[in-house]
Amino acid sequence: MHYFEIKKGWLWCEGVRTVDIAKKTGTPVYIYSHRTLAEHYLKMDEAFSATEHLICYSLKANSSMAIVGSLAKLGAGADIVSGGELYRALRAGIPAGKIVYAGVGKTPEEIEAALRKGVAMFNIESMPEAEAINRIAGKLRKKVNVAFRVNPDVDANTHHYITTGKKENKFGININLALNLFIKAHRKLNNLNVTGVHIHIGSQITKIEAYVRALLKISALIKKLRGAGLDITSLNIGGGLGIIYSNESPATPAEFAEKILPVIHPLGVSLIMEPGRFIVGNAGILLTKVTYVKNGESKNFVIVDAGMNDLIRPSLYDAYHNIIPAQPASGKMKADIVGPICESGDFFGKDRTLPSLKADQYLAVMSAGAYGFSMASNYNSRRKPAEVLVKGNKFFVVRKRETYEDLARGECLPENL
Ligand code: LLP
């Protein structure tokens, strides 16, 4: 579901014609629909209204201040994985008490900053990390709520780079070792309140069965933990709910809730969720302009002004993003849509059938709101693109395109080299 729509050949975002944005900001530009992301958040909130829950938006999907701030206003918490995300979440208005801190490699400095700010909870991934948090909390004379991330060893049937809940993945604590580890931490690490269990089994999951399988295992674990005297009060089920990129038919939040709540309800825990892609994925597009059309012997190439540095998902995961013209176009051609970067992997789509394109035509790479800008880089010394948030018939440039000076910020040329 989203509010990008073609009307008489023009692509609109809510009440704004996307080409009008491009004329002001230039291209490439990320364009986000506020209404789309707000509705996604509210749908999820509504689906779980029968149970005590907190939606901690996963900043890694898109940590742009305007996006995080919009969700903060709706009441969202945050799932963070670095000191930088902590800074952004707080600055965008998410209260520390609604922030959960995950990640396999939190540094002592990051742990200390999060403790000082008073985050709600740490999701811990190993015993050495638990010991570090315990030590630092002790130094600060604090006691902190923690969950251990358990690896339930289920296959979420998604791309191998984004499946995380199998035992060969680096994430979490093997479910068979979890009981002893929880007990040890509970008994020995006195500055930790071991109150939660966390799982995250992968991303872009379209079938709920894997969640149910994982949750049944976790439910058995929680019962054993309670039997051993631990007061487990929260269950964090991570993120991962899939979206439509081409012809997927992912579960809706209501279907998701209907399938998993029967397993969760009897546990009497408060529920934490960490959706990222589901909230912002379809709420954003990358608008780009054709620079050249190159007709080759066996292939046509449409060369656009966005590159893999702006949106790396097709190059990195072979991910499919629909590509459509943002202004009227006729005829028909088959082509690879590629960027200007010096790598064969710099493409957005291969063998796509599109109207006949020529230079200066605007194209939209759809469903680019999640893991788009947040994974952008300056490769080839390209400036990161501008970002625009549309609300109704207004649009706001929420991040300016980088300047060339930005590219060299913080660098120096040592004298007497
Ligand atoms: N919680 C944890 C602990 C995670 O590791 C992730 C994502 C999420 C929540 C949010 O997952 P989501 O709801 O967005 O699926 N760059 C890849 C996706 C990497 C996901 C990493 N972890 C992509 O572009 O497909």
- What CATH number does residue 216 fall under? 3.20.20.10
Residues 107 and 249 in one domain: yes
Residue 236 near residue 198 (C-beta atoms within 8 A): yes
Buried residues in 179-192 as b, exposed as e (16+ CB within 10 A): bebbbebbeebebb
Q: Is the CB of 198 under 6 A from ligand 1?
A: no
* Per-residue pLDDT, 297: 84
Same domain assignment for residues 224 and 325:
no
Judge if 386 and 338 occupy the same domain: yes
Looking at residue 296, what is its pLDDT? Answer: 83
The answer for 323, left when phi > 0, alpha when psi is -120 to 50, beta otherwise, is beta
The per-residue b/e assignment along 388-400, b for 16 or more CB within 10 angstroms, e otherwise, is: bbbbeeebeebbe
Query: Is the distance from the beta carbon of residue 277 to the nearest atom of ligand 1 less than 6 Å?
Result: yes
Clarify whether residues 368 and 399 are in a common domain: yes
- Is ligand 1 within 6 A of the CB of residue 3? no
83-91 helix and 65-74 helix, angle to the nearest 10 degrees: 60
Q: Is 239 in the pocket of ligand 1 (CB under 6 A)?
A: yes
Q: What CA–CA distance (Å, rounded) separates 377 from 310?
A: 7
* Residues 188 and 287 grouped into a single domain: no
Q: Are residues 311 and 257 in the same domain?
A: no
- Give yes or no for residue 303 having a pLDDT over 90: yes
Q: Is 186's C-beta closer than 6 angstroms to any atom of ligand 1?
A: no
3-state secondary structure (DSSP) of residue 172:
coil
How far away, in angstroms, is 286 Cα from ligand 1 center?
20
Q: Which of 118-122, 171-175, 289-293 is the least confident region?
A: 171-175
* pLDDT at position 237: 97
Nearest CA to ligand 1 atom 22: 203
Mean pLDDT, residues 255-264 taken together: 96
- 215 and 112 part of one domain: yes
Q: Is 333 helix (H, G, I), strand (E, B) or coil?
A: strand
What is the model's pLDDT at position 153?
Answer: 87
* 215 and 248 assigned to the same domain: yes
With a pLDDT cut of 70, the percent of the chain lying above it is: 97
**Domains held by the chain: number:** 2
Q: Is the pLDDT of residue 368 over 90?
A: yes
Whether residue 272 is predicted with pLDDT greater than 60 in this model: the reply is: yes
What pTM did the predictor assign?
0.96
CA 359 – ligand 1 centroid, Å: 36
Annotated catalytic residue, options 13, 56, 342, 412: 342
Residue 72 sits at φ, ψ, to 5 deg, of -60, -40
Same-domain pairing of 263 and 225: yes
Cα 320 to chain centroid distance, Å, stands at 17
Segment 192-229, tens digit of pLDDT: 999 999 999 999 999 999 999 999 999 999 999 999 99
What is the token pair recorded at 36? 């789309």
Domain boundary among 224, 240, 273: 273
Q: Using the predicted structure, report yes or no on whether residue 165 has a pLDDT greater than 70.
A: no
Average pLDDT in the chain: 95
Could you tell me if the CB of 61 is within 6 A of ligand 1? yes
Per residue in 89-141, pLDDT tens? 999 999 999 999 999 999 999 999 999 999 999 999 999 999 999 999 999 99
Query: Residue of the nearest CA to atom 6 in ligand 1?
Result: 239
- Active-site residue, 342 included: yes
pLDDT at residue 166 in the model: 62
The ligand 1 atom nearest the CA atom of 204: 15
In this structure, the answer to whether residues 243 and 295 fall within a common structural domain is no
pLDDT of residue 417: 82
Residue closest by Cα to atom 8 of ligand 1: 239
Q: C-alpha distances in angstroms, 54 versus 99, 235, 406, 415?
A: 10, 10, 37, 54
How many A from CA of 382 to the centre of ligand 1?
26
- Both tokens of 336, joined, read 């690879």
Which pLDDT score is estimated for 416?
87
204 Cα to the center of ligand 1, angstroms: 8
Q: Are strands 29-33 and 16-17 parallel, antiparallel or unpaired?
A: unpaired
> Which residues form the domain of 16?
4-32+281-407
Residue that terminates a domain, selected from 273, 292, 316: 273
Ligand 1 site, residue 367, Cβ cutoff 6 A: no
Over residues 285-309, mean pLDDT:
96
| 57 pLDDT higher than 80 | yes
Q: Are 250 and 242 in contact (CB under 8 A)?
A: yes
Q: Is the pLDDT of residue 330 over 60?
A: yes
pLDDT of residue 28: 98
Q: Tokens at residue 13, please?
A: 């975002």
Find the range with the poorest average confidence among 170-174, 183-187, 250-254, 304-308: 170-174
Residue ending a domain, among 254, 273, 292, is: 273
242: confidence class by pLDDT, cuts 50, 70, 90: very high
Q: Do residue 149 and residue 254 come from a single domain?
A: yes
346 CB within 6 A, ligand 1: no
Find the 203 Cα to ligand 1 centroid distance in Å.
5
Flag whether 38 is in a domain: no
Residue 82 lies in a domain: no
Our mutation pick for probing the ligand 1 site, out of 44, 57, 60, counting the most ligand atoms within 8 A of Cβ, is: 60
Query: Region 377-387: what's the mean pLDDT?
Result: 98
Split at pLDDT 50, 70, 90, the class of 185 is very high
Atom of ligand 1 nearest to the CA of 281: 14
Count of Cβ atoms closer than 10 Å to residue 342 Cβ: 9
404: phi then psi, degrees, rounded to nearest 5: -65, -35
Alpha helical stretches, state H, 144-276:
175-188, 209-227, 253-264
Pocket flag, ligand 1, residue 196 (CB < 6 Å): no
Residue 146: name the closest of 90, 206, 194 by CA: 194
User: Whose C-alpha lies nearest to ligand 1, atom 9?
Assistant: 239
